[in-house]
Structure 1
Amino acid sequence: MKSYTAEEVSQHNKADDLWIIVDGKVFDLTKFVSEHPGGKKVLTKVAGKDATKKFKQFHNDAIMERVGLPMQIGVIGDDNSKARL
């Protein structure tokens, strides 16, 4: 899985290019924006940011597994960590 920095994610902060972070995982929600039950405005407020707190307020783990995980594109962190083991 590809690693990203929070700074890289922050560059994807518009409805037509929307990434978020939840629990250290990076999600590309660009194609999901128009389908989100809470509307486009909800997602654009957290675009490019760590949305963990807001996500957990309104969703449970089952939603993440069923809907969220297919949109995961990476993780926050150092992709060289395995090379140091």
Structure 2
Amino acid sequence: MKSFTIEEVAQHNKPNDLWIIVDGKVFDLTDFVSEHPGGKKVLVKIAGKDATKKFKQFHNDAIMQRVGLPMQIGVIGDADGRARL
């Protein structure tokens, strides 16, 4: 899986290019924005950021397994693959 920096994820902060971080994993939600049950505004507010705390407030682990994992594009890490959160 590809490694990204927090700074790289931060560049993807618009509705038509929207990435987030949850538990050190990077998700591309660009194609999901219009389908999100909570609405587009919710995702746009956290675009390009670590959304772990907010995500866990409103979702359980089953949602991540069923809906989230297919959108995972990488992890946060350095060149050696170690987490950099």
Same fold (TM over 0.5): yes
**TM-score with structure 2 length normalisation?**
0.93
Aligned ranges 1:30-49 → 2 under 5 Å? 30-49=30-49
1:38 counterpart letter in structure 2: G
1:14 counterpart letter in structure 2: K
**TM-score with structure 1 length normalisation?**
0.93
What is the alpha-carbon distance in structure 2 between the residues aligned to residue 52 and residue 74 of structure 1? 15
- What corresponds to 1:59 in structure 2? 59
What is the alpha-carbon distance in structure 2 between the residues aligned to residue 21 and residue 3 of structure 1? 12
Aligned residue-pair number = 82
Gaps of 5+ in 2: none
What is the alpha-carbon distance in structure 2 between the residues aligned to residue 79 and residue 43 of structure 1? 28
RMSD: 1.2
Aligned ranges 1:5-84 → 2 under 5 Å? 5-81=5-81
